[in-house]
A and B are shown apart, each in its own frame.
Chain A
C-alpha cells in the first residue's frame, strides 16, 4: 500500500498509522525506498546515501510487522525508517565514516543508540554521507564526494551530518541519527530546515560511535519536528555499561511537560530566556538577525521573560575547539593503521605500511587535523596550545554556569552565522571552521542544545538555537515546542 503523504509525515504520525493498522511497517520502508529513488539520494544526484540494503530493510520491516501482529502492540517507533550517519556502528551495513581507510568495513557490533531505537521498532534503511570522520561543516570532505542540499542542489547541506539532515529534509526518512563534536547535527539541521539535537555530554551513550574527539562527541537525532526529536532523544538517552562517560542521571519524559502545556496560551509562563549578545555580532546576516528577533518576540508573547546576558568568552570557542578536537582526534585516529581495520598499503616494513596506509586512506582535512593535533600535543607546544586551550575551555564552561546559575532557564541564539553556502565556496580551512562559531560553545561546555527552523532568508532555511543547562533537555524541548507551534508555517517561509 502506498503512503501518499509519506514525505511530509512526522515519525509519530507515521507510527500512529502503523499502530492502527492503516499502513504497515513494510509499506513505510517501501515508501522510504521509493522516495529515496525519486529524490535522488544516490551518488548520481544528491549523494546523501552511502550504503543501503533494501532487502535487509524489508526483512526487518516484515519482522517488525510480524511482531506487532503477534503481540498486538508495537514500540514507539515501530516501522519508522531510520537513516544513520556512517560513523555510527550498524549491523549488516558498512560503517566507513566516509573514509577510504575504512572502505568495506562492516562493524561486528552495533551502537547502543541503534539498539535502543531498533528495540522501539525503528528500521535502519541507509547509512548517510558525511564529512570524513565527522571533520567538516559542509559534507564536502567525504571520500565519496560532496552531498547536496535538497532545497538547493548547488549548495551544501551543512556538516558533518549533512547526509542525515538532507535525508530528513528531502522527505526520505522522518528520522535520522547524526553525531556532534562542534555542531555537526545542529548546523546541517539549520541549513536543511529540520530539527537537530545535541544532548548533554553523557546523556546518550557513545558506544558504537567512531571516536573523533571523545570529550566532545555525542549522538543526536534529526527530525521534521520538535516532538519527534524529543521522542528519539528520550529513547536513546540513559546509562550504558559500555560507555563509562554515559550518565546515571534519570531520563524523564521529555514530552510530558510540553504536551501538558500544549493548550495553554502562555506555555512559557515562568520561563526565563537569556539572549547572549555575543551571538549577535555586527557581521551577522541581517536576515538571520531579523528572524531571530521575530522568534524572541514570539517567545515573549508565549509568556517567557527575556533577558540580555553576557557570555564574554564566546569568541574564544573556535580557537579552543580547533586545538582540543584535533588533539583528541590525533590520538583516536591512531588506531587506523592498516592492521586491524579496512585498507592496508603494501609496503616493505611496518613503519612504511603505517605511513602509506594512513596517507593513502585519510583525506586532506583529516590529515590536516591529525597533524595539527599532533603538533599541539608535542613537546614544547603542549603548554602553549593544548593546556591553555583546556583552561580557556573552563572559562567558556563557567560562562554557561554563570548564566544558568542566575536563574536563566534557556538561551536563544542563531544556530549559524549564514545560510547554506554554495558547494566549493569556502576553501580556507579556518573560514570553514567559523561555521561552528555559535554551536561549538555547547560542545565545549557539555550543555544540551538544539536547532529548529525559524524562517527563511532568500529561500534558504535559518535555524534558531535553544541551549539549556546540563541534563535540562526537558526545558529545552519545552521552549522549542512552544516556539515551533507559535511560528507554525512561518518557520518554513
Chain B
C-alpha cells in the first residue's frame, strides 16, 4: 500500500494542513519509508486476541464519576489567550461560502 502524492494531498486536506508543493514528494518518500516498517504487523495473527487483552489497565481502577462537575476554574479570562474575541465570542474569519460577508477577518 504505497502512499502517492494524491494520498498526501488528501490527508493534508483532511488534517487542514497546507503542504508546500515542493514538500509533496519528500513527504511521499518519508511516509512510505515509515509505513514499510508497519507492514510487519500484517503478518501477525491477531484473530485469537481476546478483547480483554486490549485494555491496558484494570477497568475497576477507573470508576465513572458523576457527570456533575462544573466548568473548569480558570485563573485568567479567555480573552487573554484567544486569538480574537468580541462580546464574549471567539472571532473567526467568515466562511467563504457566505458571499454577503462584508467583515474582514480579524
- Chain A residues with CB under 8 Å of chain B are 91, 105-110, 200-202, 215, 241-242, 244-249, 313, 316, 318-320, 322-323, 330, 334, 337-344, 346-356, 358-359, 362, 367-368, 370-372, 374-375, 378, 381, 384-385, 388-395, 397-398, 401, 428-430, 433, 444-446, 470-471
How far apart are A171's CB and chain B's nearest CB, in angstroms? 32
Contact indicator per residue, chain B 36-80, by CB within 8 Å of chain A (1) or not (0): 011011101010011101111110011111000100111111101
Within 8 Å by CB of B17, from A241, A362, A390, lies: A362
Contact of B81 with A247 in the complex, beta carbons under 8 Å: no
How far apart are B21's CB and chain A's nearest CB, in angstroms? 12
CA distance in complex: A339, B1 (Å): 36
CA distance in complex: A352, B94 (Å): 11
Q: Which residues of A contact B22 (CB under 8 A)?
A: none
CB < 8 Å A-B pair total: 196
Contact of A395 with B38 in the complex, beta carbons under 8 Å: no
- Chain B residues with CB under 8 Å of chain A are 1, 3, 7-8, 10-12, 14-20, 27, 30-31, 33-35, 37-38, 40-42, 44, 46, 49-51, 53-58, 61-65, 69, 72-78, 80-84, 90, 92-96, 105-106
CA distance in complex: A388, B45 (Å): 10
How far apart are A427's CB and chain B's nearest CB, in angstroms? 11
Contact of A374 with B93 in the complex, beta carbons under 8 Å: no
Within 8 Å by CB of B82, from A316, A340, A347, lies: A340
Contact of A353 with B49 in the complex, beta carbons under 8 Å: no
Q: Which residues of B contact A398 (CB under 8 A)?
A: 49, 53
CA distance in complex: A391, B55 (Å): 10
CA distance in complex: A347, B69 (Å): 38
Contact of A215 with B105 in the complex, beta carbons under 8 Å: no
CA distance in complex: A430, B40 (Å): 14
Contact of A370 with B15 in the complex, beta carbons under 8 Å: yes
Within 8 Å by CB of B50, from A342, A353, A394, lies: A394
Q: Which residues of B contact A352 (CB under 8 A)?
A: 18, 96
Q: Which residues of A contact B42 (CB under 8 A)?
A: 384, 388
Least CB separation from B95: chain A residue: A350
Least CB separation from A341: chain B residue: B81
CA distance in complex: A226, B104 (Å): 57
Q: Can you give 5 contacting A-B residue pairs, CB < 8 Å?
A: A347-B93, A370-B15, A385-B38, A395-B44, A428-B33
Q: Which residues of B contact A107 (CB under 8 A)?
A: 81
Contact of B105 with A348 in the complex, beta carbons under 8 Å: yes
CA distance in complex: A242, B70 (Å): 10
CA distance in complex: A491, B62 (Å): 38
Contact of A242 with B17 in the complex, beta carbons under 8 Å: no
Contact of A349 with B54 in the complex, beta carbons under 8 Å: no
CA distance in complex: A261, B20 (Å): 61
Contact of B62 with A248 in the complex, beta carbons under 8 Å: yes
CA distance in complex: A201, B58 (Å): 10
CA distance in complex: A429, B37 (Å): 12
With a 10 A CB-CB cut-off, give which of B7, B8, B18, B51 has the most chain A CB atoms.
Answer: B18
How far apart are B24's CB and chain A's nearest CB, in angstroms? 11
Known: A368-B30, A385-B35, A470-B58. 6 other contacts (CB 8 A): A108-B80, A247-B61, A249-B61, A322-B34, A391-B54, A470-B57
Q: Which residues of B contact A391 (CB under 8 A)?
A: 44, 46, 49, 54
